[in-house]
Structures are given as C-alpha cells and as structure tokens.
Chains A and B, each alone.
Chain A
C-alpha cells in the first residue's frame, strides 16, 4: 500500500531519506545530468526564460501523464491516448464554432468527450474484464474513426477560441505561464486524491491485488471505472490545452503523446504492474522527457534520430530500475 520504494530502505536512515524512492532520485539525477549536458551545448540553456518555456511545454505532457499514472497505478494501461487527445481538441474547437454558447462550453465539451471515451474503456476493463491494453486500442480506433468521419479526413478548419488560447499561453500570474499553473492545480488535486482520500487508497489497493481489495469491501469495479473516466478526461483536457497552444486542432496531434506519457510515468518509478508510485516521480519523468526532447531538437537531430534515442533511453532507464522479479 505504500507509495514509496519497493526494496525497503535501511531502517537507520533518516525518515525523509527513507521515504525517498530510489527511482525518483535516479530520475531527478538524470534531469540534472541533462541540464549539465544542455548547458555545455548551449549557454542559453540555463536561462530562466528557456527553462520556463520548457516547463510550459512539459505541462501539456504533465496533464496527460497524470491520467496515465492513475490507470497505471491500477495495473492497467491506456493506449487510447492519441485519439482521446485529438478528439478532445477537435471537439472543443468544433463546439466553439456554434456561437456564444459554444464558445463558453467549448472546454467542458472537449473534456466531456474524453470522459466518454474513458467511460467506454472503464466499462470494458472493469465490468467486461477485457484486458485494458486491448479495449483501449479498440476505443482508440473507434475514436479515430469518428474523428475521420467528422472531419472528412482533413484537419478541421475551426480554430481554438480565445479562452483556450489564454489557458495555454496567457499569464495570470506574471512570469508564470497559465499552462504551468493548470498543471500545478491538476497535480495538487491528484496528490490530494491519491494520498488523502479513500479513492486514492483504493487505487493503490487495487493495483496491489485486486481480489484482496475486493474482499476488503472496496468497490473495485466502480473505482476502476472512475479512474479510466478521469484518465480520459485528463487526456482530452491535455488536447484542449494543446489546441489552445497551437490555436487549432490537428488530425495526428495526439500521436506524439502516447509513448512519452507512458515513459514519463514509468521512468518516474511507478510500477507498470500497479500499486506503487508517487506523483513526484511522474513530475520528474515528465520534466525528464521534455528536457530530452528539447535537447534533441536543440541539437537539430532529425525525427528518425529522435525516435531512436527516445526508445533507447527508455529501455536503458527501465533496465536500470524497472525490472520485474524473475520466476521462481
């Protein structure tokens, strides 16, 4: 049930240190390493403007990875990220085209579409007991099909309303982009839900052993359903933010977020088998992935090289601390 590390650290260590997950520490170490490498490569890498810009870019991935983390904590996975993100963005932009009311309801409507996709996933996983990997791939295909039919195969023409652009690029607090504030709020809510509510404790319990959680009276199916719905909603919300950032939705805007979202969660020390992981780790994973992407693009690495580096870094880091125990 504990959200800290798996190999129980030595008893004599101070409490603060004992609570610190080695995986999270490794992730933060890698962030420092990337910053050092980046600053050697370019002097402007450590400037506050650049770092703040990185944080803003990271916040889109951060919101999406939050949803992914909830589902991974249950021991499930959500592969419907690409088209949930796109559907959220497209539907929000589409709603905005319907006059005054549409503009006001654009963001809630986009998120609602994501929640609906998440509900289908949740019903499939919790009530029909279909492996999450399969049902989410299927809903991804259905969402893609719906969006292709809706847009006629082209990128939609509707542009993002003012409110969405403000949410992604505006400044409510001087100097801090709104997207970062949004991520901080989402993160704070998640930390509260995971550590201070029965819902959060149930999520960890189900991830550890679902049958035990069921026998101790947790309504496991309902919790799973809610987690998937929240995950879908957060994915769509990430899409809404992205559409606000790019000021319009695009067909394949979500494709680039599936692998980074899973990678961020797993690199942050959350066990892919569920039941273990902290939000701090996910934050570290998100920043790590974003910095890596940023360094690769500063080095003007072509897309091919980026994909290869990406895959290798993820496998290498998982080999460092993400291994499952051997069969005995």
Chain B
C-alpha cells in the first residue's frame, strides 16, 4: 500500500493534468457538432501534438531549474528549414528529416553551451539565442512558402487503420525513444537532482553539467520534431514572430498545467503532454460554444493566469514567513 502512496505523491501533478484534459475533452466533444468521431479526434490530436512536442522540450529544461525562451523560435526555424529540405524521393526526404533534427539538436546544444559553460542566466541567454534563431528562420523564409513531401505528411497526419491518429502514435514513439531512456539514465536522474538542489547534486558527484547540457540539447531535438510536424500540417514554412512567441508562452503554460515545478526537480514530460493537450482543448472550447474567435487570446491568457496562480495555494501551508523566500 505504501508503495502506491509514493507513486501517487510523485504522479499527482500528472494525474491532475490527465483529469483536466479528460474533463475538457469530454466537454469539447459533447458540444462539438460532429460529436466524438475519428475526424474530430484526429484534428484535435494534430493540433495538440504540436504544442505537446514544444511543451516536452520546455519540460526537459524546466526540470533542471532553467527555462528555454527560445523553444518557439527553434520550432519556427526547423519549420522553415523543413520546408526547404524535406522533399523529393524517399531517400532525400529521409536525409531532410535527419537534417532538420540535427539542426534542432545543434540549436539546443548552443543554448546549453551558452547557459552551462558560458554560465549566463538562461532567461537572458535564450531570449538572445531566440532572436538569432528567428533571424535565421527569416533568412530561410522571408515570405511564407516552400513545400514538403506530401506523401509523408499525409501519412503522419492521417490515421492508422482509420482510427488512431498517427500523430498521437508518433508522440508515443518519441516518448518511448527520447524520454523513457533519458529519465532512467544517470544523466536524467542528475538533471532532476540538479533541478531540486544544484549544490547537493554537485556535492554528491552527479554529472550536473553534462546532465543539463543533455537536457538543453534534447529540448532542441524535441522542438525540431514539433517544427517538422508543423511543416507536415501546413505544407509550408513561415517565420512568424508572433507564432514563435505564442508557442514559447503556451509551452510554459502547458508545463505549469502539467504539474511540472518551475523551480525544477519535480514533474515529468508525460504531465506536460497532458497539460499541452488540455491547454489546446481549453482554447478550442470557445469554438464549439460559438464565441467570436477574437476572444480566444484573452481566454487563453486568463486560463494561463489562473493556472499559474493555482501554485500560490502552497502559501497557505507556510507556517514560517521566512519560507516565502525559499
């Protein structure tokens, strides 16, 4: 029994995110004109998965008590790059996909190198590198355009056996290939440890620098997978500043909704995925209730504000005021 209690205490945030998502999704499909059909699920999954990838990227960095304000821009950059190189016959397409993923890894590694080995504050450093990535994206695509291998795009945005959205299956594969090995490796544990107390992790001889570097680099990779998927959905590349910023912001919202502590060391990518899906569903609720789309930014902003304020409930448990200052 006590085993279960530990598991519950660790997964509480994730379970809460899952519950919110299921609740929101039930409300969404119940009020959707087409009801709970494969089509509705596919569209929702395709939109949600984009944010889920970016939120996964953000989670890896947030776990180490850092923040990556350039994920949205890496997402844009890889989208623009993919609209140039993911083309042609299957072999060329495969090379293109590898190229896009490598570009993401490189962006993430650059962030990591500057933050860890350059010892700059992650907020300022990633805002600056985000500007660089956005500039490169703009160089690649001064105006929206380009194209993508449509066969691959249709397969990855379609359905398996006409039921399961392929994008969800891909998300699962990415979780199994990237997150599960990472979280169970020494580096993954060290990433958690350095997030909850960097000094203690250092004293215990954890490889904190390598762990953080791996977290930032993998974040770049995950953002690149998101950018790749964006290209598959839209068939084009576009360097839109507002869209990159929005994805960065929403990724933080998803991470908070997913029960990942912004102070590092607590939470998991799985929670962030459900947080992302829940956030997307909440945003889309307005459409099924026939609100003016103009209200959507305000609605999402308020949801975000409420979500981050929920963390303040912990203050009621504080007995000694000095604990405020952590």
Contacts and interface: CB of A to CB of B under 8 A. Distances in A.
Given A128-B309, A304-B136, A318 B297 contact: no
Interface stretch (B29-37, B46-54, B117-125): B117-125
Nearest to A128: B312
A153 B315 CA distance: 38
Interface residues on B, range: 35 or more
A40 to B, nearest CB: 25
Contacts of A258: 127
Contact of B297 (A148, A262, A308, A327): A148
A311 B302 contact: no
Interface string A114-133: 00000000001000111101
Interface in B134-181: 134-139, 142
B91 interface: no
Interface string A291-317: 000000000001111111111101100
A144 interface: yes
Contacts of A231: none
Nearest to A145: B298
A77 B123 contact: yes
A303 to B, nearest CB: 6
Contact of A259 (B127, B296, B297, B299): B127
Contacts of A198: none
A130 B307 CA distance: 11
Nearest to A132: B123
Interface in B197-244: 198-199, 202, 208, 241-242
B256 interface: yes
B132 A312 contact: yes
Contacts of B289: none
A281 B67 CA distance: 26
Contacts of B106: none
Interface stretch (A30-38, A44-52, A134-142): A134-142
Contacts of B262: 131, 134
Contacts of A142: 298, 301-302, 304-305
14 contacts: A77-B123, A130-B312, A135-B308, A142-B302, A145-B296, A152-B294, A210-B325, A215-B322, A255-B245, A305-B135, A311-B131, A312-B128, A315-B118, A318-B125
Which 6 residue pairs of A and B lie closest in terms of their CB atoms, listed nearest first?
Answer: A145-B298, A307-B135, A141-B301, A311-B132, A308-B135, A304-B138
Interface of A: 77, 124, 128-131, 133-135, 137-146, 148-149, 152-153, 210-211, 214-215, 252, 255, 258-259, 262-263, 266, 272-273, 302-312, 314-315, 318-319, 322-328
Interface of B: 67, 114, 118-121, 123-125, 127-132, 134-139, 142, 198-199, 202, 208, 241-242, 245, 249, 252-253, 256, 262-263, 294-302, 304-305, 308-309, 311-312, 315, 321-322, 324-325
